């Protein structure tokens, strides 16, 4: 009889902790789900590899900021100033090269003229 009382008492004490353990398991996120709330800046090496996959060579990063990356690259033998959006994969090309000047980032076209980079 004392053994049954001891088992009953042990079960009574363990029941709430087992109940909470099962309840807390439901609150854990599914480890297979992709977390889309965290967005980071691509490393320069990853940006270079992605642009090389798109056919660019001699990729030189000029500016790597959150919404886009600006690079000087060559494609089909032409020097290009390229704006790359790492989130969408969209590229915007302008013939020429990016240069930094006291007035900010500029594009020098093949004919030597200067222009403001595309937005």
Q: Left if phi > 0, otherwise alpha if psi is -120 to 50, otherwise beta: which for 65?
A: beta
Q: At 45, is the secondary structure helix, strand, or coil? A: helix
CA atoms of 34 and 24, how far apart (whole Å): 21
Q: What is the pLDDT of residue 66?
A: 80
In contact, 83 and 91? CB cutoff 8 Å: yes
C-alpha dihedral over 59, 65, 66, 72, to 10 degrees?
-20
CA atoms of 12 and 27, how far apart (whole Å): 25
Taking alpha carbons only, the member of 45, 102, 97, 50 closest to residue 71 is: 97
Question: Looking up tokens 């270079």, which residue turns up?
Answer: 48
Total residues belonging to the chain = 119
Per-residue pLDDT tens, the chain, 119 aa: give them: 666 676 676 666 666 655 555 544 455 555 566 555 555 667 889 889 999 999 999 999 999 888 889 999 999 999 999 999 988 889 999 999 999 988 889 999 999 999 888 77
CA atoms of 96 and 105, how far apart (whole Å): 13
């Amino acid at each position: 009889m004392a053994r049954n009382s001891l088992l009953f008492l042990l079960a009574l004490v363990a029941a709430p902790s087992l109940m909470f353990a099962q309840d807390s398991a439901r609150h854990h996120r599914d480890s297979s789900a992709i977390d889309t709330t965290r967005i980071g800046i691509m490393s320069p090496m990853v940006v270079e590899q992605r642009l090389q996959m798109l056919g660019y060579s001699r990729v030189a990063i000029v500016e790597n900021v959150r919404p886009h990356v600006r690079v000087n690259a060559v494609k089909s033998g032409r020097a290009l100033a390229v704006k790359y959006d790492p989130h969408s994969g969209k590229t915007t090309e302008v013939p020429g090269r990016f240069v930094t000047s006291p007035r900010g980032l500029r594009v020098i076209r093949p004919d030597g003229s200067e222009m403001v980079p595309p937005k």
